[in-house]
Amino acid sequence: MGRTGVLLLNLGGPEQLEDVRPFLFNLFADPEIIRLPSPWLQKPLAWLISTSRASKSQENYKEIGGGSPLRRITEEQGEALKAYLQKLGRDVKIYIGMRYWYPFTEEAVAQIKQDGIEELVILPLYPQFSISTSGSSFRLLDKLWQDDPALQKIDYTLIPSWYNSPGYVRAMADLITQELDKLPDSNTGHIFFSAHGVPVSYVEEAGDPYQREMEHCVDLIMQAVGRPNDFTLAYQSRVGPVEWLQPYTEDAIKGLAAKGIDDLVVVPISFVSEHIETLQEIDIEYREIAEEAGIEGFHRVPALNTYPVFIEDMGNMVVKALESPRKLFSDAAQLQKEVRIYPQDKSAWGLTPFAEVWNGRLAMVGFLALLLEMVSGHGPLHIAGLM
Ligand SMILES: C=CC1=C(C)c2cc3[nH]c(cc4nc(cc5[nH]c(cc1n2)c(C)c5CCC(=O)O)C(CCC(=O)O)=C4C)c(C)c3C=C
Ligand SMILES: [Fe+2]
């Protein structure tokens, strides 16, 4: 058996307040996050949005202690995974590749190369596939692999999504039932799945399987919970002026309050670690909305973090992948056929006269928009919901 590695892919988050603006720049510079008709606009727009959004975003990070816990938790997950694999007799090196902050995916891949890894399992820490998350990381890996013949020698297996993996479903059901059992009447708590949203166009135009996988995932978890409780799936954290998947979490909470629901058991479902959208958005913002709307019991199911049933499931997925190398890769190839991940590839590249004129005009508009924002605090980016 050759040297074996597991690459855990994640989003990354700012560790201190000074990191927030450059982190946001990296995020918005990704065409899988903001889809523009021309790649030339990507960086100017990323600069504009990150500059104008930074202070509001910093306020939110301040409320959770000044930075994201994502790196720490991902490292803990990696250590727990390594220990579990060791128990199974597998000596595996774990690498963490974040998409928008340290340790960057590029650094992890350079280390994998330096360590002479021969067999690699690539495991995104997103249970459901989205163009905007796992898709973006896969695209980056694809580019790194294409540019480097040494990487092409690695025997790798990519796990595109795993929302239906039995251990993951069981782990989610365990944490939900533990929370339900704290209620005076465990059968009446309304189970409220709050998933990170994506724009509707990702699903309807680009073929993102995210919503389909999310709905299937919720059904599987509810079957595993095996209780008579009612449930809702809603989508949170929308950014910008376009339509995102509905129902929106805040509207769904208000709707349930109007129906007289007393106990809401909120389940963060699209992500396996605590992060700003659980600790700030759910625990502070949505709690306030729920309480103002008259819901007395707002309970939150913790994220999986290093919950042993979940870590063991990750370990079992890794072992399965190692025992059937490249088998799961065909799923990913199929996925790439179904999902139009790279719409920008279709547009003409190069500094054509058309592109030059429009980039110049848009840069001027952008600059004026930013000035207006800064002077008045009520410019077009506020109106568009990007600040
Ligand atoms: C499955 C999870 C996620 C999906 C889908 C997703 C899509 C998505 N996100 C944005 C914009 C932002 N995301 C931000 C932070 C952030 N997002 C996720 C997860 C998903 N995003 C995580 C784990 C984090 C990091 C949290 C941390 O602890 O630091 C942010 C920055 C925070 C903020 O300013 O609100 C933005 C912005 C878009 C536009 C998008 C789909 C197109
Ligand atoms: Fe996000």
- pLDDT attached to residue 336: 52
Which ranges of the chain does DSSP label H, i.e. alpha helix?
20-28, 42-63, 70-87, 105-114, 134-146, 149-152, 166-180, 200-204, 210-225, 249-258, 276, 287-292, 308-323, 329-338, 353-376, 380-383
- pLDDT attached to residue 357: 35
Q: What is the mean pLDDT of residues 36-59?
A: 93
Q: Domain range holding 179? A: 166-300
Instruction: Check pocket membership of 270 for ligand 1, CB cut-off 6 A.
Output: yes
* pLDDT category of residue 383 using cuts at 50, 70 and 90: very low
CATH of the domain at 240: 3.40.50.1400
Q: Whose CA is nearest to atom 34 of ligand 1?
A: 57
Looking at the CA of 268, which ligand is closest? 1
Look-up: residue for tokens 């399965």? 320
Mutate to test the pocket of ligand 1, among 23, 101, 276 (most ligand atoms within 8 A of CB): 276
CA–CA separation, 60 vs 66, rounded Å?
A: 8
- Asked if residue 252 is part of any domain, the answer here is yes
| Domain tally, the chain | 1
- pLDDT attached to residue 355: 35
- pLDDT attached to residue 165: 97
pLDDT in tens, 262-310: 999 999 999 999 999 999 999 999 999 999 999 999 999 999 999 999 9
User: What single DSSP character describes residue 102?
Assistant: S
Q: How far is the CA of 256 from the centre of ligand 1 (A)?
A: 26
Query: Which atom of ligand 1 is least distant from the CA of 198?
Result: 41
pLDDT in tens, 107-128: 999 999 999 999 999 999 999 9
Looking at the CA of 31, which ligand is closest? 1
- Asked if residue 292 is part of any domain, the answer here is yes
- pLDDT attached to residue 386: 52
Which of 23-37, 134-148, 330-344 is predicted with the least confidence, judged by mean pLDDT?
330-344
- Asked if residue 161 is part of any domain, the answer here is no
Q: How far is the CA of 126 from the centre of ligand 2 (A)?
A: 12
- Asked if residue 204 is part of any domain, the answer here is yes
ipTM: 0.94
* Cβ–Cβ < 8 Å for 99, 140: yes
- pLDDT attached to residue 324: 78
pLDDT in tens, 83-94: 999 999 999 999
Q: How far is the CA of 327 from the centre of ligand 1 (A)?
A: 30
pTM above 0.90, yes or no: no
Q: What is the mean pLDDT of residues 312-335?
A: 74
- Asked if residue 35 is part of any domain, the answer here is no
- Asked if residue 188 is part of any domain, the answer here is yes
- Asked if residue 181 is part of any domain, the answer here is yes
- Asked if residue 76 is part of any domain, the answer here is no
- pLDDT attached to residue 361: 39
Looking at the CA of 245, which ligand is closest? 1
